């Protein structure tokens, strides 16, 4: 390290997490808020160009770079820390240390990843996120959570192995260089970079390996799902913006994610699964922007990730209140909650409108991506993203609040959110509006200067028109958009069902081959060989002596008795000298014949 002040901000959370189990519950709730607050303060004072390095390995002359501060890493560090502060305020009621420790390690891993300056450091923090986030899911301690955590870690272990293989191949190809900078599509297009890319796309939630997200996040606890929703996918977006700007395949992968997320969000009836599919949709915009790779696109993706964390976390908070108060999360069982949960309803609407409405952060951020795509004259990506933007607004900002808060009253009378939860929601709600009314503050954080003015008459008019059109469309399609009980089949069907069939096939073929080998070799050949060496000599002796006994006039019964006597003596190793000598003469005779034949 250059000096003591240049330590990685992730250490505040990682080291601080070790003390959590030793604190009293009342102090613990305050302590876990102070840790990300200190991290936020430290990240804000970091100057671009700051770094810390450490020499550890001998196979490369380059040191590990635990801290690399530029505007891209700093923007993600700020929003990760800010969201953690709000999340732990929201979780003030939660007193168990297990989830808090796992969450702090998880958030610390995410912050460590965005400030990592080399591939090895990035990988270590990346994998720490996978492990710690699994424990965040397990903290709910239900059968659903255990099953989801198992599937989650299996998918992320596969992604991590692909990432590791790519890192090793890339370092070897770079003559031992561990630098993590932008890979050029023309000159760095090889197996290593593609394996890294696939590993990153797993964490992005790119189909077909996207089912882990709607499977695991809703299975976590109220606060666990909130924390999970902000970090894994956004850390993956950061690594794409850092390592893969301008890789054209990402444009189409992002478009596919955006459309895919809309389709499933419209079909779902579970409120947290709807939000999970909406994450895939919104991350698709950012992946597409990474593929475009221009300065406007990179800054647009950064702004979109920054603001998406704000309003999507606010939505997870408000739906979490519903789950906390009622223990239900299916729209078929909910409705009319605005009467008894008016404050939660207001914050939910703020989160919904922050996706696109002028005056909110979504309007001032996500449209930068659309602007960058228009500037590059990419018609089909522009059209697909515009359609998916309308679709996700219909699914999340209109359909979800209507059936959750304003639909048919199911006679439920829950209390509104506790004060701590309201505090977390108020903090994020404020920033959702602040960055909408003061976009310059957000734009100053972006990695590149942008020539974009969101509040032109044309832009505001267009957005208001399609929001109005979306509302009218909902009125006409409300019958078909009404939630229905059931399960939406996703790509996880293939590995849930396929894994069972694979296990059965492996059991039949591999275990069948093992059984055949046991019968043939162990129970057959090996047993025969052991029997031969155990009784082969005595049987050969009895076979050779039988003609002599017959010449001596012994009958069959006497010969059988003599054979049994030889078998017993063979096992005891006790033979008469005459018989032994006779066998030795026969053996010498056979050896002489073989010698003469040669």
Residue in this structure with the two tokens 């959750």, named with its chain if needed: 404
Average pLDDT over residues 497-513: 79
Residue 471 — very low, low, confident or very high, per pLDDT cuts 50/70/90?
A: very high
d(CA 472, CA 513): 64
- Would the CA dihedral through 77, 82, 88, 91 be positive or negative? negative
| Residue 323 CB burial class (10 angstroms; 0-12, 13-18, ≥19) | middle
At residue 2, the pLDDT reads 47
At residue 576, the pLDDT reads 55
pLDDT above 90: residue 62:
no
pLDDT above 80: residue 286:
yes
DSSP 91: G
CA distances from 83 to 14, 89, 421, 445 (A): 17, 10, 14, 16
Is the backbone of residue 482 left (phi > 0), alpha (psi -120 to 50) or beta? Answer: beta
d(CA 100, CA 106): 10
pLDDT above 90: residue 61:
no
Asked if 550 and 559 count as a contact pair (C-beta separation under 8 A), the reply is yes
d(CA 52, CA 63): 9
Residue 214 — very low, low, confident or very high, per pLDDT cuts 50/70/90?
A: very high
Here the tokens at position 195 are 């394996």
pLDDT above 80: residue 535:
no
CA 146 to chain CA centroid, nearest Å: 15
| Residue 294 CB burial class (10 angstroms; 0-12, 13-18, ≥19) | middle
Q: How many CB atoms lie within 10 A of CB 472?
A: 9
Residue 114 — very low, low, confident or very high, per pLDDT cuts 50/70/90?
A: very high
Asked if 448 and 305 count as a contact pair (C-beta separation under 8 A), the reply is no
CA 437 to chain CA centroid, nearest Å: 35
Please name every residue paired with 68 in a beta bridge, in sequence order, or none if there are none. Answer: 51
- Would the CA dihedral through 206, 208, 209, 214 be positive or negative? positive
CA distances from 386 to 222, 266, 328, 452, 458 (A): 32, 16, 33, 18, 16
Q: What does residue 50 show for φ and ψ, rounded to 5 degrees?
A: -70, 145
At residue 143, the pLDDT reads 94
Contact residues for 496 (Cβ-Cβ < 8 A; gap 6+) = 151
- Sorted by where each begins, the domain ranges of the chain are 1-236, 245-486, 496-597
pLDDT above 80: residue 577:
no
DSSP 53: E
Here the tokens at position 285 are 């915009």
Asked if 366 and 389 count as a contact pair (C-beta separation under 8 A), the reply is yes
Please name every residue paired with 64 in a beta bridge, in sequence order, or none if there are none. Answer: 54
Q: What does residue 252 show for φ and ψ, rounded to 5 degrees?
A: -80, -30
C-alpha closest to that of 312 among 346, 283, 341, 335 = 283
> 328 by DSSP, 3-state: which?
coil
d(CA 213, CA 277): 8
Q: What is the pLDDT of residues 149-178, one digit of tens each?
A: 999 999 999 999 999 999 999 999 988 789
d(CA 544, CA 584): 12
The H or E element containing residue 517 is helix 492-517
Torsion of CA 277, 278, 280, 286, to 10 degrees: 180
Q: Which residue has the higher pLDDT, 279 or 507?
A: 279
pLDDT above 90: residue 40:
yes
Average pLDDT over residues 36-52: 92
Share of the chain above pLDDT 70, in %: 92
pLDDT above 90: residue 258:
yes
The H or E element containing residue 52 is strand 51-54
Burial call 181-206: b when 16+ CB within 10 Å, e when fewer: eebebeebeeebbbbbbbbbbbbbbb
- Omega of the bond leading into 436 within 30 degrees of 0 (cis): no
d(CA 9, CA 108): 8
Q: What is the pLDDT of residues 382-411, one digit of tens each?
A: 999 999 999 999 999 999 999 999 988 888
> 9 by DSSP, 3-state: which?
coil
pLDDT above 80: residue 596:
no
Asked if 245 and 286 count as a contact pair (C-beta separation under 8 A), the reply is no
Q: How many CB atoms lie within 10 A of CB 169?
A: 17
Asked if 492 and 216 count as a contact pair (C-beta separation under 8 A), the reply is no
Asked if 271 and 331 count as a contact pair (C-beta separation under 8 A), the reply is yes
Q: Which of these ranges, 42-56, 129-143, 212-226, 393-407, has the smallest mean pLDDT?
A: 42-56
At residue 60, the pLDDT reads 59
Q: What is the pLDDT of residues 305-343, one digit of tens each?
A: 999 999 999 999 999 999 999 999 999 999 999 999 999
> How far apart are the two ends of the chain, measured CA to CA in Å?
80
C-alpha closest to that of 315 among 287, 273, 357 = 273
Residue in this structure with the two tokens 């992604």, named with its chain if needed: 159
Q: Which of these ranges, 232-246, 297-311, 512-526, has the smallest mean pLDDT?
A: 512-526
pLDDT above 60: residue 59:
no
pLDDT above 80: residue 420:
yes
d(CA 427, CA 421): 10
């Amino acid at each position: 390290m250059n000096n003591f002040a240049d330590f990685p901000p992730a250490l505040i959370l990682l080291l601080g997490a070790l003390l959590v189990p030793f604190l009293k519950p009342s102090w613990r709730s305050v302590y876990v808020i102070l840790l990300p607050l200190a991290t936020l303060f430290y990240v804000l004072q970091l100057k671009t160009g700051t770094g810390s390095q450490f020499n550890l390995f001998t196979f490369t002359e380059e040191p590990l770079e635990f801290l690399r501060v530029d505007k891209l890493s700093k923007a993600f560090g700020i929003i990760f820390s800010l969201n953690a502060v709000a999340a732990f305020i929201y979780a003030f009621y939660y007193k168990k240390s297990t989830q808090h420790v796992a969450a702090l390690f998880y958030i610390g891993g995410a912050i460590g990843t965005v400030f990592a300056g080399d591939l090895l450091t990035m990988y270590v923090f990346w994998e720490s996120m996978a492990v710690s986030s699994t424990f965040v899911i397990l903290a709910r301690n239900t059968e659903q959570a255990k099953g989801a955590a198992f599937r989650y870690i299996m998918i992320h272990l596969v992604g991590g192995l692909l990432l590791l293989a790519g890192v090793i191949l890339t370092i070897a190809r770079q003559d031992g260089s561990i630098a993590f900078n932008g890979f050029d599509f023309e000159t760095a297009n090889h197996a290593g970079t593609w394996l890294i890319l696939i590993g990153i796309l797993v964490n992005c939630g790119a189909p077909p390996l996207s089912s882990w997200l709607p499977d695991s996040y809703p299975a976590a606890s109220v606060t666990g799902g909130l924390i999970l929703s902000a970090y894994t996918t956004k850390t993956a977006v950061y690594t794409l913006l850092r390592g893969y700007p301008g890789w054209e395949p990402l444009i189409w992968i992002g478009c596919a994610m955006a459309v895919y997320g809309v389709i499933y969000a419209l079909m779902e009836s579970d409120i947290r699964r709807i939000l999970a599919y909406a994450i895939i949709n919104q991350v698709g915009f950012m992946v597409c922007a990474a593929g475009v790779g221009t300065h406007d696109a990179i800054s647009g993706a950064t702004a979109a990730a920054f603001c998406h964390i704000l309003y999507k976390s606010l939505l997870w908070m408000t739906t979490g209140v519903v789950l906390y108060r009622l223990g239900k999360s299916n729209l078929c069982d909910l409705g009319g909650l605005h009467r008894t949960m008016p404050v939660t309803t207001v914050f939910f609407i703020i989160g919904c409108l922050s996706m696109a409405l002028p005056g909110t952060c979504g309007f001032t951020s996500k449209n930068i991506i659309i602007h960058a795509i228009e500037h590059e004259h990419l018609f089909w990506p522009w059209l697909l993203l515009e359609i998916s933007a309308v679709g996700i607004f219909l699914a999340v900002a209109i359909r979800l609040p209507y059936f959750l808060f304003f639909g048919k009253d199911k006679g439920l009378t829950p209390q509104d959110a506790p004060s701590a939860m309201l505090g977390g929601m108020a903090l994020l709600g404020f920033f959702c509006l602040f960055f909408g009314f003061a976009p310059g503050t957000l734009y100053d954080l972006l990695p590149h200067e942008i020539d974009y003015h969101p509040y032109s008459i044309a832009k505001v008019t267009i957005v208001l028109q399609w929001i109005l059109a979306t509302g009218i469309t909902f009125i006409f399609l409300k019958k078909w958009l009404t939630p229905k009980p059931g399960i939406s089949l996703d790509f996880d069907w293939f590995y849930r069902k396929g894994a069972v069939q694979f296990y059965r096939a492996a059991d039949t073929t591999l275990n069948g081959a093992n059984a055949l080998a046991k019968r043939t070799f162990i129970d057959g050949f090996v047993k025969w060989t052991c029997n031969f060496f155990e009784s082969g000599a005595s049987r050969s002796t009895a076979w050779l002596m039988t003609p002599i006994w017959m010449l001596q006039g012994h009958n069959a019964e006497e010969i059988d008795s003599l054979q049994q006597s030889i078998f017993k003596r063979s096992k005891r190793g006790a033979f008469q000298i005459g018989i032994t000598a006779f066998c030795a003469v026969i053996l010498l005779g056979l050896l002489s014949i073989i010698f003469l034949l040669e």
